[in-house]
Structure 1
Amino acid sequence: MGASNLPNARIPSATYRLQFNAGFTFADATRIIGYLHDLGISDVYASSYLAAKEGSVHGYDVVNQTILNKEVGDEQGHQAMVDELTCHGMGHILDFVPNHMCIESGDNIWWMDVLENGMSSPYAHFFDIDWEPVKKELTGKVLLPLLGDQYGKVLEGGGLQLLFRDGAFFVQCYSLQIPIEPRSYLRILQHRLDSLKERFPPEAGPVQELLSIETGLQHLPLDTERDPEQMGERHREKEIIKKRLWQLCQDAPEVMDFIAENIRIFNGTKGDPGSFDLLDQLLREQVYRLSYWRVATEEINYRRFFDINALAAIRMEDQAVYDLTHALLFKLIREGKVTGVRIDHVDGLYDPVSYLQNLQKSAYVQLCGCRGEGGNGAEAEYFGELERDPSYQPLYAVVEKILMKGEQLPEQWPVAGSTGYEFLNSVNGIFVDTEAAKQFDRIYDRFTKRASDFTEIVYEKKKLVMQVSLSGEVNMLAHQLNNIAEQDRLTRDFTLNSLVRAISEVIACFPVYRTYANSASVRDKDVQYIEAAVSKAKRWNPAISGSVFDFLRDVLLLKAPERASEESRRAWLYFAMRFQQITGPVMAKGLEDTSFYVYHRLISLNDVGGMPGKFGTTLEAFHGQNLERNKNFPHAMITTSTHDSKRGEDVRTRIDAISELPDLWQKSVVRWSRINKGRGSLIENQRVPDRNEEYLIYQTLLGAWPAGVMDKDGYDAFKVRIKEYLTKALREAKVHSSWVSPNSAYEDAVLGFVDGIMEQSPGNPFLREFQPLQRRLARCGLFTSLSQVLLKMTAPGVPDFYQGTELIEFTLVDPDNRRQVDYGVRIDALRELRAREAEIGAQALCRELLEQGENGWIKLFLIYRVLNYRREHREPFDFGEYLPLEAKGARERHVCAFARKGSTSTLIVAAARLVAKLMPDEGSHPLGEAAWQDTVLLLPEGAGERFRNVVNGQQVEAERREGRPAIPLAALFSEVSVALLEPL
């Protein structure tokens, strides 16, 4: 992929992620666009703002992709935001959710229609529902795991109530009103019918109308009907019947009273189990089966987003589904209101490459239509472009995709790249001292009193997830594989149990989130991943016959026997593609949402897309990744914080600094643990918190401790945030508590420990000993944060800024990192910085800001300076070469540097790293000769001799060292520890 593949797409210079919800609307965004432009942002990158479940704070629980979220604003508000973007020459990237929809909302009219009409619904094929599941009792039904207890208990407790409105019947289940299948209205309307007849004279009109309505219900096509003509008739007639019934109730109050009394009878009486029989019989006739939410683990028959019952997957591979769900998106693209897209959870799709190709084709047609060249002509023109260049992309598109070590996006994907998780972990890793890995292994193992192997933890946690959350999906796969095995005499003796175990073990050993076979052949990379997973599973499970694993491998690699029929080959491909959709959720839940909360050697490494078993990133690996991106995906997003981050970027940089101080760290945690021993509790003879959790608590406090002096309210608010984080961490770890079975006694004991160690009193020696190290790490973290953000703004790719991170922010995992941002503070700060810069100059201002580092304004000023420069000088960043640079001298490993070589000039980027060793005490800094000694940065020939640091305006000169141009780092970093040099 190169820049030439995006000839007409708008390529952002820098993006800014905004989280839209009722608390941050189109109007709110409109008010800050001028500020974002002044900061240097070229494109707003918006979370999904299509219609979502009421009260959604993130927008991923979409209920209708064809309309805007009314809580965010209306079309007028949206147009005002777009107009403001246009006024500032800015673009707009929209986060689009193609994989799933929220089904716990009456606003999802497609899902509600499915619940009313079953397989006869025109939307039945929209959702990934197995209408003939393994559990035969669910044939033709959808399992609805909505209940907070067992079905019978909820029913007899009055938790399910029949109701009637607008001529239709519903069952009230908590806040959700679920439609009743129309033919089953007869059970309600025919109950006690004689008592209604007695209230009217013979042949009375209301009675005759009700009988006529009943006849119409009896003749409705069944909910299993799939003939289009019969489906259409059912849809028309049921709506006519509802209108007639409602009109009858308005005209004849006696009928309304009759129905109301029947509803009261059906709804039963608490304490009288038999009184609920009528409602139970009615519910048994529905196209859904209401169940306890725990039942979903094993019996769910619709595909979900991970293990979230409320989010049902949609079949984007169906063209009708694709067309309808994208109608509004393409309208916005055609009108120029959206200039790029971010595709959420691309790995959840059945066939990602076909979807992405379809997306680009559709975008091309819309864009050509805007120019008056739409229709089949535009489509033919698009295919002509594809023949010339298979990776041609008319629309800037990036995908949310987690790439594991060494993994690249599939080359067939017509996208600008990913959203940058891999960069986040790579750039964070260079601020971790890789040489201290073994020391930290020893410190961690000794403190926790156990040996920890991250690879084994991931393996075990993936298996746990398949047992407690996703066993239904694994069982479904096993039954599919069993059907395949039964077709061949060489494989039919494999038992269902052995196939379940083989599938589980291979998924547990899978090295990446998923593979991407979608035809008769499998990519070479995917072959390697499958072979590696099967080989490892066989090695770790000698008690399971290797032939079972070999059979599974052959099916995944589509190595069907020559004698296999075409139908059998299709079954193999279908299984392989379904398998691909499951490995991702298992990896995500087992790795990100479990292992990351269990393995705490250095928690700054535990972020989405990372593998904390690897202790940091070498400079060689960092440069190698940048070179690869510049070659293949030069316009991919690169980021340092997202809405999914486990910790904010400025929390991580503080914790990174611990890696440079192993001796001090070991001494500190041992001392703290001894001091705090009395703060813990004993539950069932077990120490609470356990040693591993205590290790997490200390790192979390060091990373998230707010800058500056906190008043009592601020300190109390911080404690609340820490306790909310730890509650989530305990449940995600699934060791002593979980979301499924919260252990409140254990959680309370841990939170009590936090209250104790954070008590502000003279009798708490912990805080007295904790704060000096916290202040030192905070100072290190500040300089590292500046380096990190500079590297993001200048490395290959489009730098993305998560809302609020232009100032130093110490956020933890969501919902903490999704709190509303105070833009007033940021707008005022930038205004004041620009005024102060005009008054005293950038160089003096930088010195001033570093002295006041706690307020984070130095980070804001750095971003403002570099992004504005980048926007005005795009060529080296968009199309330039990437040249790693080396340093020579005593501090050579403490700088990360590279050049961006454009057609007319070469820019030099340099940033300090591993600064804790350059700052031996609390009051020092990584500046000047004391820090850098004789170290020089070697420059490429022809780069220039005199330079200006864009960051602060300081001028520096190169000199010759051993026949090469070089800049002494003592001079380059005399006043600020980051540099973007332009030649003079």
Structure 2
Amino acid sequence: MCIPTATYRVQFRNGMTFDRLTTHISYLKQLGISHLYASPIFTATDGSSHGYDVTDANEIDPAIGGRAGFDRMVDALKAEGLGLILDIVPNHMAASLENRWWYDVVENGPASAYSGHFDIDWSRRLTLPVLDTSFEAALEGNEIGVGRDPSTGKPSLTYRGSFFPLAPYSYAGRSEEIMKAADRETIAALHDEQAYQLIPWRDVPRALSYRRFFEIAGLVGVRVEDRQVFDDTHRLILELVRSGAVQGLRIDHVDGLTDPKAYLDRLRAAVGPDCYLTVEKILGDDETLPADWPVSGTTGYEFISAISDALVDGDNVGRLRQRYEALTGHSVDGSADVHAAKRLLLEKNFVGELTRLGDLVLEAAEIERYDMAELERSARAAVTELLIAFPRYRTYGTETGLTSEDADLLETARSTIQVEDGSPISQALDVGLRLLKGSVSVDARPVAASFRTRFQQLTGPLMAKSVEDTVFFRDNAVLALNEVGSEAAQAQFSIERFHEKMRMRARHWPHALSATSTHDTKRGEDARARLYALTEMPDVWAQAVDRWQSMNSGALANAEKSRAPEPNVEWMLYQALAGVWPVETGVADAASLKALEERFIPYVEKALREAKLRTSWLEPDEDYEASVIAYARHLLSPDNRRFLEDFTETIVPLARAGFVNSLSQTVIKLMAPGVPDVYQGSEALDLSLVDPDNRRLPDFASLDSNLATAEVTNLDLSDPGSWARLKQALVARLLTLRRDDPGLFATGAYTPLAASGAAADAVIAFARTDGARAVIIAGPRLVGRTLRQQSIVGLPELLSDVEISLPTPLADRRYRDLWSGRSRFVGNSIQAIAEASPVPFLVLVSDEPAA
């Protein structure tokens, strides 16, 4: 199999095309990556900013260069010896009339050749959620009419410039008549004859007739489990792999598929054994990827979570949460918060999916001869409780039922639900569990199969939207911990946990991607690393927030007699701002403040709506949002001088500690087990906010120019202007090391190394070994308090008395220092790891056996 030594993720669109990327391939080679890792490249909706809304899976999008541009890019990659990994989207396509398959389904309904390609409930009419009001009100307001679609010439229903095709039988022999005299009665009758119905977009949660991607009605589920659908949607993908243009695939949202393993087995058989496959999969803290999946691992969200164990102050994170609770009045209870968010989403956002599951329980109960009079009132409630109690993204049951592990997981979830034995809701829960396990009568097996599939396809979106897109915007105590792949309000952090996770990674999934920034992360890796340092200074931060609240109290507003923003949101605003604060320019540069405001305000709006407390996407409170946004603008006003100066003075030590964290995070990612992925531009500083901010086009010209002269020079924490170049140079040096010795990092063992001395807790050390080859890595952690207390700008003083013990396989051998190139003999320990080094990171390389 072709295992990358390192990947570089590029977001096509938003200005990035194949030809534009081609001009930067020599830069990627110089940086040290082995494979370009491309966002979806297949034709998507017009103006798509991400490519996950595919309209034609068998065409390369002309908007980014089409097949000709793609081929030129592939040729250029091959000329530099680089490979290509594609992000593919088997779970869904765009529910857009630009999608010719979807258009055909809308036009012809169940008679369409593609009606089985999409996951549609054909027991009722296909719902198209495009109206701002009811159909009757839109018709009465003359917003719905009949006209010829200018792109096809076919008679269509029209609504605000959109054309919805009419089934040919509904206008056969009378198209001209309809065009000339289409009164409201005629239009309503035509609408009633279609296999679809136009509905208000607000009705999506309860009325949608097809499986969507998460909450997005514009993305319709694809039945890729059907062999014909698989073939139709993978024709070009397989051609590109078999031709040698593509060496790897990243499978988006694998948990959305009916049977992920069956899909992956089919894909592996189609692409052959050499294609590198990874899956986008969120793992719980106690969960591992199924060992029988024919992939190299996940796309790396769990690696981000592991990094927090190494860089978060586990002794003080609880103190920061306590100060947050005292200042804001917002209590932190991860489990309770997730359960509350799940209940809210099931009642408002996923009510249609919930209702369908409840109906299936009733259908099975009737077949199994339960007392229906009792169960009818309890089925939906029972499914609700089971969904809320279920602790992971999904189980992986098939037509034959569940694995013993998944069955035990569901039984454990069931045991946490407080219901009276023998009560109707208890009986309904039993029916639901029997359906999931497949332990039902022959007559009920089709219902069980449907229930199991729908349940498994709902638990993932429900968990994601509850945790990542609700709780992580409600619990603002430590924003750095609110990241994709992390647990809500995680309490335990330790270097021992990190080492154990890396040992397991090396043993079971050594070729999984290791990510620190992605297009889906809540903030850029350097912003997150900076905010990790807050866990080391909880009292300093809380006191600062108290001061800033007082300074800016005049900007508070009353939205419907409630304070806006409330203290919880104020804490969030200050912390989010701290993560992205431009310490290199500070408050003197009004232009930088304005540029930051343009990025910050969309983040604020998104954070408020995702929290779903006083406003939401479905029910926005514009007055409240305007009040909070006005407050945020006030924070960034050049006239708010007193606050800006205090904020900057407070943030500078945090930023220094954060940059040390950033370098440590970088070194760990590039040296630890797994394939490191560099997200576009994050080889320099990535102080981005949530999307769309994190999908901005990097300044490749500057990156290229800086790398040409980049050196791993002395770390100067007093000069933030030098940080980006230093990080970039560090990335290039370490990626080159990986590329020069791929075997060591692909299959090498992971060995934690023990440190001793007064600052032992401030060091992380480990080794990678593969036979005679070895590399020793050591660097700083938890330096925030030291940097603040001693006001030092370097770290040799902190690390000078640390001693790292070496086990027998690593001791008594000669090593080459990566930074100086000098060779030295090392006994059974290493001391003064930061002396005579430009950066406080020890990287010693040996390719000879111990003496």
Tell me the equivalent position of 1:968: 831
TM-score by length of 1: 0.83
Q: What's the counterpart of residue 298 of structure 1?
A: 206
Structure-1 separation of matches of 2:716 and 2:141: 67
Deviation per residue, 1:533-589 (Å, 9 max, x gap): 2122236999974333233223222233xxx22x42343233212210111111111
Among 783, 786, 798, the residue aligned to 2:660: 783
Tell me the distance in 1 between the aligned counterparts of 2:722 and 2:487.
31
Structure 1 residue 747, shift from structure 2 partner = 0.8
Choose from 608, 611, 615 the match for 1:730. Answer: 608
For residue 23 of structure 1, report the CA deviation from its aligned partner: 1.3
Which amino acid letter does the alignment assign opposite residue 176 of structure 1? S
- Judged with a 3 Å threshold, the aligned counterparts in structure 2 of structure 1 residues 539 and 416 are, in CA distance, closer, same or farther, namely farther
Aligned mate of 1:575, from 440, 451, 469: 451
Q: Which residue of 2 aligns with 1:271?
A: none
Is the aligned partner of 1:884 residue 2:752? Answer: yes
Q: 1:610 aligns with which of 486, 489, 492?
A: 486
Q: In the alignment, does 2:127 pair up with 1:163?
A: no
Quote the offset at 1:478 in angstroms: 1.0
Q: Which residue of 2 aligns with 1:58?
A: 50
| Cross-structure match for 2:159 | 173
The answer to whether residue 122 in structure 2 is matched with residue 131 in structure 1 is: yes
Q: Which amino acid aligns with 1:980?
A: V
Partner of 1:88: 80
Sort the Cα spacing of 1:641 and 1:887 in 2 relative to 1 into closer, same or farther, 3 A.
same
* Separation (CA, whole Å) in 2 of partners of 1:521 and 1:147: 41
2:30 matches 1:114? no
Cα distance change on mapping 1:175 and 1:877 into 2, 3 Å:
farther
Q: Give the C-alpha shift of residue 621 in structure 1.
A: 1.3
Q: Which runs of 5+ in 2 are unaligned?
A: none
Structure 1 Cα separation of the partners of residues 419 and 724 of structure 2: 52
Matched, 1:148 2:132: yes
Q: Conserved in 1, the CA contact under 8 Å of 2:795 and 2:840?
A: yes
- The whole-number CA distance in structure 2 between the counterparts of 1:494 and 1:420 is 46
Partner residue, 2:61: 69
Question: Does 288-297 or 340-349 show the bigger shift?
Answer: 288-297
The question of 1:511 aligning with 2:391 is answered yes
What secondary structure sits across from 1:435 in the alignment?
A: coil
Alpha-carbon spacing, 1:544–1:613, altered in 2? closer, same or farther (3 Å)? farther
The aligned counterpart of 1:194 is: none
Q: Which amino acid aligns with 2:769?
A: K
Shift of 1:670: 1.5
CA distance in structure 2 between the partners assigned to 1:699 and 1:349 by the alignment: 37
Structure 2 vs 1, CA of residues 610 and 447 (structure 1 numbering), >3 Å: closer, same or farther? same
Which of residues 907, 913, 918 is equivalent to 2:781? 913
Q: What displacement does 1:923 show?
A: 4.2
1:862 corresponds to which residue? Answer: 730
Indicate if the aligned counterparts of 1:660 and 1:914 stay in contact, CA closer than 8 A. yes
Q: Match of 2:231?
A: 323
Take 1:876 and 1:477, find their aligned partners in 2: how far apart are those partners?
A: 50
Q: Say if 2:672 is the partner of 1:795.
A: yes
> Is 1:116–1:181's contact at 8 Å kept on the other side of the alignment?
yes
Aligned-residue Cα RMSD (Å) equals 2.1
Gaps of 5+ in 1: 1-8, 133-138, 190-257, 267-274, 365-392, 960-964
C-alpha distance after superposition, 1:142-187 (max 9, x if no partner): 0111112222222233332322255521223345322100011148
Task: Give the structure-2-normalised TM-score.
Answer: 0.95
* In 2: Cα distance, 1:574 partner to 1:456 partner: 30
Shift of the 610–342 alpha-carbon distance from structure 1 to 2, 3 Å rule, reads same
Query: Contact between 2:471 and 2:488, CA under 8 Å: does it hold in 1?
Result: no
Displacement, 1:942? Answer: 3.4
Q: Deviations over 1:595-616 (max 9, x none)?
A: 1100011010001111141146
Q: Once the 2 structures are TM-superposed, how far is the Cα of residue 970 of structure 1 from its aligned partner?
A: 4.7
How far apart, in 2, do the equivalents of 1:497 and 1:510 lie?
A: 22
Contact 2:777 2:842 in 1 (8 A): yes
Question: CA separation in 1, counterparts of 2:112 and 2:190?
Answer: 20
Residue 946 of structure 1: CA displacement?
A: 4.2
1:11 maps to which of 3, 8, 12 = 3
Structure 1 SS opposite 2:287: coil
From the superposition, tell whether residues 74 and 54 of structure 1 become closer, same or farther in structure 2 (CA, over 3 Å).
same
Matched residue, 2:841: 978
The structure-2 alpha-carbon separation of the partners of 1:541 and 1:88, relative to structure 1 and needing over 3 Å to count, comes to farther
What do residues 758-801 of structure 1 show as CA deviations (whole Å, max 9, x unaligned)? Answer: 2223x642222211111111111111111101100111110001
Counterpart of 1:10 in 2: which secondary structure? Answer: coil
Partner of 2:804, secondary structure, is strand
Q: Is the 8 A contact 2:468 2:483 kept in 1?
A: yes
* Residue among 716, 720, 724 paired with 2:598: 720
CA distance in 2, matches of 1:571, 1:861: 58
Alignment correspondent of 1:754: 632
Q: Is the 8 A contact 1:638 1:799 kept in 2?
A: yes
Q: 1:897 and 2:772 equivalent?
A: no
Distance change >3 Å, CA 581–CA 490, structure 1 → 2: same
Which residue of 313, 332, 355 maps to 2:263?
A: 355
Distance, in Å, in 1 between the alignment partners of 2:181 and 2:842 is 78
Q: For the Cα contact (< 8 Å) 2:834–2:840, is it kept in 1?
A: no
Question: Are the counterparts in 2 of residues 927 and 975 from structure 1 also a CA contact under 8 Å?
Answer: no
Is 1:289 matched up with 2:197?
yes
- Which residue of 2 is the match for residue 666 of structure 1? 542
SS in 2 for 1:456: helix
Equivalent residues in 2 for 1:490-889, closer than 5 Å = 490=370, 492-538=372-418, 545-560=425-440, 564-565=441-442, 567-615=443-491, 617-709=493-585, 711-761=589-639, 764-833=641-710, 837=711, 845-847=713-715, 851=719, 854-889=722-757
| 1:343 aligned residue | 251
Matched residues, number: 842
- Mapped to 1, the partners of 2:360 and 2:68 lie a distance apart of 50
Residue 304 of structure 2 corresponds to residue 428 of structure 1: no
Where 1:538 maps in the other structure, the secondary structure is coil
SS in 1 for 2:286: coil
- Tell me what 1:45 maps to: 37
Further displaced range: 813-822 or 172-181: 172-181
Letter in 1 for 2:195: V
* 8 A contact 2:305–2:485 mirrored in 1: yes
C-alpha deviations, 1:837-859, integer Å up to 9, x for none? 5xxxx5xx345798565441110
Q: Secondary structure in 1 aligned to 2:163? A: strand
- Checking the alignment, whether the CA contact within 8 Å between 1:927 and 1:970 is kept in structure 2 is no
Percent identity of paired positions between Structure 1 and Structure 2: 36
Q: Cα deviation per residue 1:19-52 (whole Å; 9 max; x = unaligned)?
A: 1115111101111111001000100000001010
**Which residue type is aligned with residue 76 of structure 1?**
A
Residue type matched to 1:757 in 2? L
For 1:266-313, what per-residue CA distance to the aligned partner results, in whole angstroms no more than 9, with x for missing partners?
2xxxxxxxx422111111111101000122211211100011111000
User: In 1, are the aligned partners of 2:751 and 2:767 still within 8 Å (CA)?
Assistant: yes
Structure 2 CA distance, aligned partners of 1:55 and 1:89?
A: 32
Aligned to 1:537, what secondary structure does the other structure show? coil
Cα distance in 2 between the residues matched to 1:13 and 1:827: 21
Task: List per-residue Cα deviations over 1:205-258 (Å, max 9, x = no partner).
Answer: xxxxxxxxxxxxxxxxxxxxxxxxxxxxxxxxxxxxxxxxxxxxxxxxxxxxx5
- Structure 1 residues 337 and 494, CA, compared in 2 at 3 Å: closer, same or farther? farther
Compared CA separation, residues 774 and 84, structure 1 to 2 (3 A): same
Query: Is the CA contact 2:420–2:426 (under 8 Å) kept in the aligned structure 1?
Result: no
TM-aligned CA deviation for residue 116 of structure 1 = 1.1
Given that 1:757 and 1:764 are in contact with CA atoms closer than 8 Å, whether structure 2 keeps it comes out as no
**1:184 and 2:60 matched:** no
- 1:939 alignment partner AA: L
Range 315-324 or range 967-976, more displaced: 967-976
Please state whether the residue corresponding to 1:430 is helix, strand or coil. Answer: helix
Measured against aligned partners, the alpha-carbon deviations of 1:460-488 in whole angstroms (never above 9, x if no partner) come to: 11111111111001111111111111012
Provide the residue aligned with 1:416 in structure 2.
Answer: 296
Asked whether the 8 Å contact 1:649–1:785 carries over to 2, the reply is: yes
Residue identity opposite 1:158 in structure 2: N
| Contact kept in structure 2, 1:725 and 1:813, CA below 8 Å | yes
Q: Which structure would you say has the larger Rg? A: 1
The structure-2 alpha-carbon separation of the partners of 1:541 and 1:507, relative to structure 1 and needing over 3 Å to count, comes to farther
Q: Deviations over 1:331-364 (max 9, x none)?
A: 0011101110000000000010000000000112
Corresponding residue of 1:4: none
